[in-house]
Structure 1
Amino acid sequence: MLFILASTASNIVGSIFLLTGIAKVIEPWKFNQHIAKLNLVSPKLIRPVALTFTAIESALGVALILGVFLTLIIPVSILLLFGLSMLTYWGTSTGKTEDCGCYNGWLEITPTQSLILNAIYIFLLIFAEFFGKYQPTVLWQWLVVLITFITSYTLAAGSLEYMQENGRPYIDFTPLQENRMWQIEWLGQDSKSLMSGSVIVVFMSPECSQCKHWLGVLKLVQWQDDLPAIVGLIDTENIQAGQDFVDRYFLNFPVVAVDKRLYRKLKIEVVPTAVLLEDGVIQEKWIGLMPMWFINKINQLTR
């Protein structure tokens, strides 16, 4: 009976690892930004660190489910969970991050809830370690784990590359999707000016370093009659903070301060995010990076 419970415990934790790994494979840019916020590694290392962690997480999940060398895999998983818990506590208590980043935005939980869940996972793994009776690992099991690692890394890298080349995700689960109408209730009266003509709506944050890189380009676009108008949004309820943001960077386009709840409603988890509207219809969505076609068009018009 205890053996069955131990096997179930390792399967539960393994499934969690695998699912969170899949979430990071589908939307790797979210985890990249989470690592960037922690500011623990060089910017050049953010991408390889994020991809490697995603691959390890997925491979550990499969190893726990298949029972691959659990005398080693379980202690490694416990150490990983303990380390992630410490990182979550440090990151959220210092204000560097708002959550653990574990579930990649697919499950909205508080830092405290994350720590509690990690404690439960650790307990399940300890139970599995002491009461499990596992069979020797065979070659095919090792191969499945290795294939999972390589596949996860490759797919996450491909998903990130697609995002960088096209400015939008391959799979999009958010309300802001191409060929959908911009909803008036999202910005109330401020939405009316977005329902005609060509407009780029940019979701930003005052603390976002990448947003600052966009501002010079956005100001240039605003000056060009042949390019879309720019409307900026920043996630702050403090109107004065919004005005300070405009004044600090000498912005020549309107900026609206909005409640953070709008970002959560529209699932804006990476800033800057932008949508290109044509008569109120979303034509394109850009996350983190502007697409090359748009940058090339700007270069042609400003020569």
Structure 2
Amino acid sequence: MKFLSIILKSILGIFFIFSGWLKLAPIEPFEFIFVDLGFANWTFAPILSRLVIGTEFLLGVLLISQLFHKKTIIASLGLILFFSVFLLFLLFSKGNDTDCGCMGIHYSMSPIESLLKNAVILLLLAFVYHKGVEIHWSFQKYALTLFIIASLSMPYILEVPDYNVPNPYRDETGYKMKIELLDTEWKNYSKELGSGKKIICFFSTGCRFCRLAGYKLSIIQKNYGKPIPAHFVFWSEGANVEEYWHASKSFKFPNHTLPTEKFFQLSGSELPAVFLINNGVVAKKLPFRNLEEKEITDFLNH
């Protein structure tokens, strides 16, 4: 029974580390879920998400090392219960037809599927709590300190938060956007987009960060409390717009596709590209890392 407990704890530890690792690559969808559900704002979400992942790493290492048996199991039970409460909140607010983000973007799971997974983990943790034994190391206090520092710092090392990232397009402002290029595809579309304040987004439907940008703009609109004047222009090559809406969790903003040459004449060479347009003039061009709620709301309100 002792050997079985060691094996089960090691498997659970590997799973905790694997689960945390998947959330890191990339981490933005996990961050966005906390903001979308109102658990955190844009400033605190990167901290909370990395704290959760770091805790998964720490508990995974402790389970594998077999140290501090009962305390580690109790902490692991607490983390799984926290995830389960989070999943119940997600289930009742968003329904079951959504990806909970529990295994990152690589393995899609609905809230109910993840709750069932958590139930199995809770049963295994309860079993090893009663049947397992604690292993002592002569230097275990020093090992614990090292484990805590390494585990909690690892998410920050592997995925540095996007605080105060310089905008590479900060000087690309004040020029008239060639919105008339759109009229060759949609008659008089430039008249609509060339008046007032608009947010014109150039995306590829298969681009990971374009999908994240769409999801982020949807959360910004939700927090803003009323529709934002966003228009999505998709690169026509290989475009699958319906798949984009499903994969990105984005609100279905007004959208069109544009052929390659005209698309990149307007967007520039890197995607996603989000333009804040005031009466046809570019007020700001934002890449994904600089797509901030304050930038959008300040532009719309002033």
Give the TM-score of the pair, scaled to structure 1: 0.60
RMSD: 4.4
Q: In the superposition, relative to structure 1, how do residues 165 and 291 fare at CA in structure 2: closer, same or farther (>3 Å)?
A: farther
Where does structure 1 lack aligned partners over 5 or more consecutive residues? 168-192, 194-198, 220-229, 234-255, 296-303
In the alignment, the residues of structure 1 paired with residue 119 and residue 147 of structure 2 have an alpha-carbon distance, to the nearest angstrom, of 25
In the alignment, the residues of structure 2 paired with residue 24 and residue 166 of structure 1 have an alpha-carbon distance, to the nearest angstrom, of 26
Alignment of 1:1-303 (within 5 A): 2-95=1-94, 98-137=98-137, 138-139=140-141, 141-158=143-160, 160-161=161-162, 200-201=202-203, 204=214, 208-210=218-220, 231=233, 258-259=241-242, 261-263=243-245, 268=248, 279=261, 283-286=269-272, 290-291=286-287
* Contact 2:32/2:216 (8 A) holds in 1: no
Where does structure 2 lack aligned partners over 5 or more consecutive residues? 169-184, 186-200, 204-209, 253-257, 275-284, 292-302
Deviations 1:256-276 (A, max 9, x none): 9943x4455xx546889xxx9
In the alignment, the residues of structure 2 paired with residue 286 and residue 29 of structure 1 have an alpha-carbon distance, to the nearest angstrom, of 15
| 3-state SS in 2 of match to 1:44 | coil
* Contact 1:165/1:292 (8 A) holds in 2: no
| 3-state SS in 1 of match to 2:133 | coil
Q: In the superposition, relative to structure 1, how do residues 79 and 286 fare at CA in structure 2: closer, same or farther (>3 Å)?
A: same
Q: CA deviation at 1:206?
A: 11
Question: For residue 155 of structure 1, what is the amino acid of its counterpart?
Answer: I
Q: In the superposition, relative to structure 1, how do residues 108 and 131 fare at CA in structure 2: closer, same or farther (>3 Å)?
A: same
Question: For residue 210 of structure 1, what is the amino acid of its counterpart?
Answer: I
In the alignment, the residues of structure 2 paired with residue 258 and residue 53 of structure 1 have an alpha-carbon distance, to the nearest angstrom, of 33
Aligned residues between the structures: 228
Q: In the superposition, relative to structure 1, how do residues 49 and 287 fare at CA in structure 2: closer, same or farther (>3 Å)?
A: farther
1:252 is matched with which residue?
none
* Contact 1:14/1:61 (8 A) holds in 2: yes
Q: In the superposition, relative to structure 1, how do residues 271 and 21 fare at CA in structure 2: closer, same or farther (>3 Å)?
A: farther
| 3-state SS in 2 of match to 1:16 | helix
Q: CA deviation at 1:70?
A: 1.9
Give the TM-score of the pair, scaled to structure 2: 0.60
* Contact 1:270/1:287 (8 A) holds in 2: no
In the alignment, the residues of structure 2 paired with residue 90 and residue 293 of structure 1 have an alpha-carbon distance, to the nearest angstrom, of 28
Q: In the superposition, relative to structure 1, how do residues 90 and 211 fare at CA in structure 2: closer, same or farther (>3 Å)?
A: closer
| 3-state SS in 1 of match to 2:94 | coil
| 3-state SS in 2 of match to 1:104 | strand
Q: CA deviation at 1:85?
A: 1.0
Which stretch shows the higher mean deviation, 23-32 or 200-209?
A: 200-209
* Contact 1:99/1:110 (8 A) holds in 2: yes
* Contact 2:215/2:250 (8 A) holds in 1: no
